[in-house]
Amino acid sequence: MNEGYTATADFEQISVALKSFWKPFNELLNEMDSFVPRPLSDFDEERKRYSEHIGALNPHMSEDEISADAERLIESSKNAGWQFYGRFSDRIMTMYVTVTLLSQALCEAEINAILAIGLHEKGLANQFAKIERADIRKKWLEHPKLFCPTYELLKNSELYITLNHLIENRNAWMHHKIELSVGEEKILDGSLRERDTYQEKMRWLKRYFSLPYDLADHAHEYTHQAIAAMMFFTRNPIPIADAHK
C-alpha cells in the first residue's frame, strides 16, 4: 500500500519524561554505592540526650537502667541496615514506581504506533481495533507478524524477560491489592510483587530505562519502520542495558 500518511508522535513526551529520571537515577545509584554507615561515636551525643531526658522523667531509675533504656532507643539508629533504609528507601521506591510506569507506558505507546503503521501499510488498518486491547506482551510477541511474517521475539530472550518483569510490576502498582493475614492464615495474597532488595530494584531499573529503546531497535530490525528507528536513535542519554546486548 503506497498511499501516503502522517502520524503523530506524542509518545515522545513519555520518552522525554523517562529520560529526565536517568541523571537522578545515576546520582542515587552513586550515592548508594558510596554509602558508609555513621560510626558508633556519632551516637554519643544522642545517647547523652536520651539519658538526660529519661533521667529527668524517671528520677527513681538507676544510672544503669537509664543507660539501658537510652541504648534501646538508639539501637535501630545505630544499625547499618536501618541507616541505609532511612536514607534511601523513599527515594528508591519513588524512582522504582515512577520509572516502572513510564517505561511501560512508552513500551505500549511504541508497539501501538508500530502496529498501526505496519497494518496500514499492508492495507490491514481495520485489524488494529481488534488487537488494540490485547496484553502488551502479546502485542510485542505476536502482532507484528500480521504484517511482517518473519518477525520474532523469543520468550527466553533477556529482552522479553525484562518486558514480562516490567509488566508484572506495573500491574501490581496499577491494580494494587494488599496482602492480608489473620494470625498464621493468609486471607489475601496481594499483588504478588517480588520482594527484591533495593540493590536488585536498581538493577532492574537499568533494564526498565533501556527497554523501550531496545524493543524499538528489535522491531526496526524486522519491520524497518521509521517510527521504530526514530525511537531507537533518540535514546540518548540512556545506554543499552548490558542484559539486552
Mind listing the pLDDT tens digit for each residue in 49-103? 878 888 888 888 888 887 887 777 677 666 788 889 889 999 999 999 999 999 9
Least confident of 29-43, 69-83, 212-226: 69-83
pLDDT bracket for residue 226 (50, 70, 90): low
Instruction: Answer for the pair 191, 176: CB distance below 8 angstroms, yes or no.
Output: yes
Q: Average of pLDDT values for 98-113?
A: 96
Look up the pTM and report it: 0.83
Please give the angle made by the CA atoms of 213, 224 and 116, to the nearest 5 degrees: 80
In a domain, 44, yes or no: no
In a domain, 2, yes or no: no
In a domain, 234, yes or no: yes
Q: Write out the residue range of the structural domain in which residue 122 sits.
A: 12-35+89-244
Question: Could you read off the pLDDT of 140-186 as tens digits, one per residue?
Answer: 999 999 999 999 999 999 999 999 999 999 998 887 777 778 888 88
Q: Average of pLDDT values for 17-35?
A: 97
pLDDT bracket for residue 227 (50, 70, 90): low
Predicted confidence (pLDDT) at residue 233 exceeds the cutoff of 70: no
pLDDT bracket for residue 6 (50, 70, 90): confident
In a domain, 4, yes or no: no
In a domain, 66, yes or no: no
Predicted confidence (pLDDT) at residue 205 exceeds the cutoff of 80: yes
Question: Tell me, what's the pLDDT at 184?
Answer: 82
The whole-chain average pLDDT of the chain stands at: 87
In a domain, 200, yes or no: yes
Residue 151: name the closest of 215, 221, 212 by CA. 221
pLDDT bracket for residue 194 (50, 70, 90): low
- Number of separate domains in the chain: 1
CA 197 to chain centre: 13
Question: Tell me, what's the pLDDT at 236?
Answer: 92
Q: What percent of the chain has pLDDT over 90?
A: 57
Residue tagged 531509675 (cell numbers): 61
Distances (CA, A) of 167 to 93, 173, 179, 230: 17, 10, 20, 23
Q: Which residues of 193-218 are buried (b: 16+ CB within 10 A; e: fewer)?
A: eeeeebeebbebbbbbbbbbbbbbbb
In a domain, 184, yes or no: yes
In a domain, 60, yes or no: no
Cell output for 202 = 536498581
